[in-house]
A and B are shown apart, each in its own frame.
Chain A
Amino acid sequence: MLDADMTDTEKTPAVRFAPEHCSLGIERLSLAYAGKPALNELTLQIPRHRITAFIGPSGCGKSTLLRALNRLHDLNPEVTRRGRITFEGEDIHAANTHVAELRRRVGMVFQAPNPFPMSIYENVAFGLRLQKRLKKRQRDDVIEWALRAAALWDEVKDDLHASAWQLSGGQQQRLVIARTLAVKPDILLLDEPASALDPISTLKIEELMGNLKHQLTLVLVTHNMQQAARVSDYTAFIDDGRLIEYGTTDDIFTNPRLQRTENYITGRMN
């Protein structure tokens, strides 16, 4: 059994997509924090306008992978990288890449809601103000659209100038999603967006993801098997910095190719 496992790991079962359906391409990506490897020769393609979930045990590198996709690791000088990431066919580490523009197009929502200490309005307007100057009318329209898209508009429309820190955790997380949507990204990276929320807020965020996939590509990191099974179209199982298995969510959860994957999703690992 153990032998079979080992040999299967060598040739990772993974779905591949035609270039025209592929939004992000990760090729042999290795990443290390201060010399300590976190990702190891990881190759993975993320399809456009679908929800792709990364699952795996804590510390397996799934969040590290997510943060590599919009070059957030640039903030930490101790991170070293090998391999390539392409976004719409272009290498995101190319010398002529405009990093701020890349991060606008590849938006990110973090595990803990992190609204800025400003009003709700100013939070959503933050990204817009970094871009070209909009007239107030246009900006108001974009903010309303973003808050509606994040299913928050009805709850906050009467008091847009209240402090964002007074919202509940679930509202804050939807505000952060609205803030990210306002700058019209192509991809939304979600790093365990519901892990700090109550079940009802979690449900709202999950519904939101289902609606958003018609407009953009979503990548979701989650600890919650049910959540991955409920919302995602494709699931990648990552362990120990390596891609173990990648396929449609149905396949991964009902018919995994590897024993190791099955052990993890049925909770028998370790």
Chain B
Amino acid sequence: MSHNMAWRGLWPWLCAASVALSLLLLGLLLALLLSRGLGHFWPAPLEAVTLTSGETFAGEAIREAKLPDQPGHERLYFIGNRDSSEHDPHGARFRWINLETIAQRDTSARLVRLSRSPWGDFIGRLEALEQGGQRLEGDAAWQALSQALAQPENTRPDAQLMLQPLNGDAFMQPLEEVYRASRPNAMTWLAKVRYWGTGVGQFLSQGPRAANTGGGVWPAIFGTVVMVIVMSVIVMPFGVLAAIYLNEIAEQNRFTRLVRIGVRNLAGVPSIVYGVFGLGAFVYGIGSTLDEWFFSARLPSPTFGTGGLLWASLTLALLTLPVVIVATEEGLARIPDAQREGAVALGATRLETLTRVVLPMAAPAMLTALILAVARAAGEVAPLMLVGVAKLAPQVPIDATFPYLHLERKFMHLGYHIFDTAFHGDSMQAAIPLVYATALLLVLIVLVLNLTAIFLRHYLRRKRGQPC
């Protein structure tokens, strides 16, 4: 009895607690993505470190950890400079340093960090800038470099930089390979914010560099959005027509119930199964046939007979079709029969009733269906790996050459980009911040697509005076 009494008072709190826990976890996820994703672009201070062994190097302190077997701590430094002689033979751009072996740390204002295209970041000193036989040294060289980088990429002067790593030999670096330079230790707070802003801007607007460990993700954003839009264009008509048939036209008997159960269960099929089907049916089946008929001149190199935007969109359309059918059908079922009868009693035919009363009323449900489909499709990676996503496809699928929308092209996708940078890059440490940033972006894109649909739905309901 007393147990019962306790339960009676407690159960609302248990329900509330589960909501609170879910919200808390979601909040944590977002906070983590936000801080790590956006923090990546903040210009971190650089240190010139002298070890007790006499060795010196320059780097960015990433984090500290306990030493594995003994007391004391070690610190992870990003040192970059893959091409210089100080670089160790393992090809790592990160270095763990035992704190006790550090003799001196110095945050010299003259330490520069250059983002370069083939070799990744350089950290060290800029000795000189040579341009057309002229040689600028020290601060003058830095001024000239900043001015050169402020210009658009194709109008920059043809110059050589003389770079000095702290523990290696100086070497010459062509200016054209450098796309960003900073002296974070000399920056004011405002300059750091501005640098952070341009960093985020470049991340969003540029293509990846240095084997996806640097640069931006613009092609992946573009690919994701275009793929989702093409998918929506394919899936919505089919899904809505199927839902109309099931709810408005078909006689409600055991067979329609069976079809309905089947559709609902299709939504639970693992996405990789759809991927395999897409590969077999669309890419190898339809794609190869299309190649034989229309693109035989280009064989044996395939046009549609390989993964591409069209096949990826079709596969995801198939994957999201059950979601669209179910959500639309629920919307149609919610419309009271009185509305249909009202239209029919005014002399409307079945088609007129459908197009003038039923479908407009079901529009919010269709938008809900679209939201669910987009959210599902934008985050899906597994099937895409089989039917058209690429590690690097700087050519976006829409451009100025006919036919403008290139459905046969391979494309980049944010979800796959996360997978690729996280697990297929050469350096785990370098990938972590990029993965956070890309994941944040993917979440934001899904959020923006969803918000658009939600506002549209809200607007439609408001227009009719329906409660929202």
Residues of A bordering B, CB below 8 Å = 70, 72, 75, 77, 100-101, 103-104, 107-108, 110, 112, 114-118, 126-127, 129-131, 162-166, 176, 179-180, 183
When chains A and B are docked, how far (Å) is the Cα of A251 from the Cα of B251?
46
Residue A100 contacts which of B336, B338, B347, B466 (CB distance < 8 angstroms)? B347
Which B residues between 173 and 198 are near A, CB-CB below 8 angstroms?
none
Nearest CB on A from B376, distance (A): 29
Q: A117-B465, A127-B348 are in contact. List 8 more A-B contacts (CB 8 A).
A: A70-B345, A72-B345, A100-B348, A100-B349, A114-B342, A117-B466, A165-B465, A176-B342
* Inter-chain CB contacts under 8 Å: number: 71
* Interface of B, helix, strand, loop or mixed by DSSP: helix
When chains A and B are docked, how far (Å) is the Cα of A104 from the Cα of B342?
11
Nearest CB on A from B358, distance (A): 10
When chains A and B are docked, how far (Å) is the Cα of A101 from the Cα of B360?
24
- Residue on B with the closest CB to A67? B341
- Residue on B with the closest CB to A110? B338
Residue A118 contacts which of B345, B346, B464 (CB distance < 8 angstroms)? B464
Question: Is the C-beta of B352 less than 8 angstroms from some C-beta in chain A?
Answer: yes
When chains A and B are docked, how far (Å) is the Cα of A179 from the Cα of B344?
12
Nearest CB on B from A51, distance (A): 19
Residues of A within 8 A of B342 (CB): 110, 114-116, 176
Question: Is the C-beta of B260 less than 8 angstroms from some C-beta in chain A?
Answer: no
* A117-B361, A117-B464, A166-B465 known; A75+B341 contact, CB < 8 A: yes
Residues of B within 8 A of A115 (CB): 342
- Residue on B with the closest CB to A189? B345
Determine if A112 and B341 form an interchain contact, defined as CB atoms under 8 angstroms apart.
no
Residues of A within 8 A of B357 (CB): 116
Residues of B within 8 A of A176 (CB): 342
Q: List 21 A-B contacts (CB under 8 A).
A: A75-B340, A75-B344, A77-B251, A101-B347, A103-B344, A103-B346, A107-B346, A108-B345, A110-B341, A116-B357, A126-B346, A129-B356, A130-B346, A130-B352, A162-B465, A163-B463, A163-B464, A165-B465, A166-B465, A176-B342, A183-B346
- Residue on A with the closest CB to B356? A126
Residues of A within 8 A of B346 (CB): 103-104, 107, 126-127, 130, 179-180, 183
Residues of A within 8 A of B344 (CB): 72, 75, 103
Residues of A within 8 A of B263 (CB): none
Residues of A within 8 A of B352 (CB): 130
- Residue on B with the closest CB to A165? B465
B336, B347, B349, B356, most chain A CB atoms within 10 A: B347
- Residue on A with the closest CB to B251? A77
When chains A and B are docked, how far (Å) is the Cα of A263 from the Cα of B328?
51
Which B residues between 204 and 250 are near A, CB-CB below 8 angstroms?
none
Question: Is the C-beta of B343 less than 8 angstroms from some C-beta in chain A?
Answer: yes
Give the number of residues in B that approach A within 8 Å (Cβ atoms). 23
- Residue on B with the closest CB to A118? B464
Determine if B464 and A165 form an interchain contact, defined as CB atoms under 8 angstroms apart.
yes
When chains A and B are docked, how far (Å) is the Cα of A70 from the Cα of B348?
13
Nearest CB on B from A176, distance (A): 7
Residue B338 contacts which of A114, A163, A166 (CB distance < 8 angstroms)? A114
Nearest CB on A from B357, distance (A): 6
Determine if A164 and B348 form an interchain contact, defined as CB atoms under 8 angstroms apart.
no
Residues of A within 8 A of B463 (CB): 163
Residues of B within 8 A of A166 (CB): 465
Nearest CB on B from A116, distance (A): 6
Determine if A103 and B347 form an interchain contact, defined as CB atoms under 8 angstroms apart.
yes
When chains A and B are docked, how far (Å) is the Cα of A135 from the Cα of B422?
65
When chains A and B are docked, how far (Å) is the Cα of A207 from the Cα of B153?
82
Nearest CB on B from A33, distance (A): 14
* A103-B344, A165-B464 known; A114+B251 contact, CB < 8 A: no
Nearest CB on B from A160, distance (A): 14
When chains A and B are docked, how far (Å) is the Cα of A175 from the Cα of B464?
16
- Residue on A with the closest CB to B463? A163
Question: Is the C-beta of B52 less than 8 angstroms from some C-beta in chain A?
Answer: no
Nearest CB on A from B451, distance (A): 24
* A110-B338, A126-B356 known; A103+B345 contact, CB < 8 A: yes
- Residue on B with the closest CB to A127? B346
Residue A126 contacts which of B343, B361, B466 (CB distance < 8 angstroms)? B343
* A107-B345, A118-B464, A183-B347 known; A112+B338 contact, CB < 8 A: yes
Residues of B within 8 A of A70 (CB): 345
When chains A and B are docked, how far (Å) is the Cα of A163 from the Cα of B342?
17
When chains A and B are docked, how far (Å) is the Cα of A243 from the Cα of B326?
45
